[in-house]
Structure 1
């Protein structure tokens, strides 16, 4: 208990937190942690998970397996069958992942949204294409932040027809609330992948997966491809295919952020600070 209190007080010191997680060689450290996490050693993995638990609320009780070959194997763990039941509302948009809701609300008609109070960015810049951002003006957005201890796989929030993925190379700033209040246009600076799809009625939906420090690898099943900080391209990737509601789309190789964009006609069912599980209702028509 005393250790947990010490940990929480340390991590809540905003200046120290920002210094430790951003004023360092972010890309170099991300590559180093990626290499370390792939080392297959049961002893090293058990030690790493024990240290990880000192700084997070890591809970592996829902994991399909309890023994892991590497730290990465633990990061991308699958859950036991039935651990994430889907909401019964057939026409609802579901949360694609376990997450904490960050900024959310309307996409302004100029295409502007917010990462935090007073820190706007445009959807066009985030997508890397103003034309693909246009259908979301007047719609809704939700920022879903995955902490490092959460389940890191993400799923289709509805029945989807996948169309295109745009990978945009970038930095690996931390995406925690402290950094979001200090670094302007942070999501537009970081490496990210914009997944474009259509709902059964033909309306568009987009999920933008944003990487962060130590987290710059994204696996997308529709591409059979691992996107990462050293990925050479191409960066415009057709992604034809269908995904059923709740079907796994891919995973982060640690925690990060998914920003969901919906066209006009949906009402959000969540609020800032709310903790969600994959399969719970995110928005309703």
Structure 2
């Protein structure tokens, strides 16, 4: 049996997978990864990437060719120009990132799903009952980024970012096994709640929630002058507005994780929005009848 076969068997063994990724000192391991990933050593980086490839399907063929000086440079790699074109149709909302479609559906009530049979309170995720109420009647979409994926995320449409609420927390793995076993996992983990408006759709609300996970050392948002990480105490609410064009880079994770997208009413999911589908940044995911949402 080849290495890929044994790697797949290991990843499919739910008990062992859960033990290895969640029953470790998660926060300490995450802080260690933050330190380790910044060590500038081409030799150490090449060796680390080789080990990384033993456990994932890491593919650097789309990245801008370069000799990485650190693991962080590889985690946050840029892609060659033109590889993630954003659908220009003003009637669609695009995927902000590469990812795997997880739980999704209409926001109708106080709870949404992180996995089948595992609900969580939307107000707890957002730390705001008022914001949760504003999103009623819309849709939620969970996009999971694996460790080997492109880690940068982008504006899914022309938008105005009004406020970022940083919520420090735990660093549970966000893979499907953990989502089934750990109740309200997204509400426990470190995350940033990015409140936005869509000027082209009558200032309809849009919320993006990047959720960190084990070994995710930080979340970077380009228009803020701070790096959001577990050692950063706050302030929790950052009032620093920014106008972002469709497809403009918003920031990155320093490892794989999840983005939860909360969309306003008046949008309908396209056929690609189904459990387990792999999508790419810029791919159309939702459509409205017109730019004004009518």
2:10 aligned partner: 10
- Aligned residue pairs total 284
Q: Work out whether 1:215 is the aligned partner of 2:235.
A: no
Question: Could you say if the C-alpha distance between residues 37 and 216 of structure 1 is closer, same or farther in structure 2, counting changes exceeding 3 Å?
Answer: closer
Deviation at 1:66, TM superposition (A): 2.8
1:195 alignment partner, SS class = strand
**Residue aligning to 2:291:** none
Per-residue CA shift, 1:145-169, capped at 9, x if unaligned? Answer: 0000000000000000110000111
Tell me: CA distance 1:137–1:237, structure 2 relative to 1, closer, same or farther (3 Å).
same
Contact 1:208/1:259, CA 8 A, preserved across alignment: yes
**TM-superposed deviation, 1:89:** 2.2
Measured against aligned partners, the alpha-carbon deviations of 1:13-55 in whole angstroms (never above 9, x if no partner) come to 0000000000110000101111111100000000000110111
Q: Is the 8 A contact 1:111 1:136 kept in 2?
A: no
Which residues of structure 2 form unaligned runs of 5+? 289-294
Please say which of residues 267-276 and 150-159 is displaced more in the overlay: 267-276
The corresponding residue for 1:100 is 100
Would you identify which runs of 4 or more consecutive aligned residues in structure 1 move more than 3 Å?
Answer: none
Is this contact kept in 1: 2:33–2:217, CA < 8 A? no
**Cα shift at 1:254:** 0.8
Tell me if 1:171 matches 2:174.
no
Partner of 1:164, secondary structure, is strand
Q: Are 1:226 and 2:227 an aligned pair? A: yes
Which is further off, 57-66 or 151-160? 57-66
Q: Distance in 1 between matches of 2:242 and 2:231?
A: 26
Q: What are the within-5 Å matches in structure 2 for residues 18-167 of structure 1?
A: 18-108=18-108, 110-167=109-166
Q: Give the TM-score normalised by the residue count of structure 1.
A: 0.98
Instruction: Measure, in 2, the Cα distance between the counterparts of 1:89 and 1:199.
Output: 14
**TM-score between both structures, scaled by the size of structure 2:** 0.95
CA–CA separation in structure 1 for the residues paired with 2:268 and 2:225? 33
Q: Residue 191 of structure 1 contacts residue 216 of structure 1 at CA under 8 Å; is this kept in 2?
A: no
Structure 1 residue 76, shift from structure 2 partner: 0.2
Give the C-alpha shift of residue 90 in structure 1: 2.2
RMSD value over aligned CA atoms? 0.9
Equivalence for 1:277: 280
Structure 2 CA distance for partners of 1:60 and 1:157, relative to 1, 3 Å:
same
How far apart in 1 are the matches of 2:105 and 2:285? 12
User: In the TM superposition, what whole-angstrom CA distance separates every residue of 1:181-210 from its partner, at most 9, and x where no partner exists?
Assistant: 000000000010000000012100000000
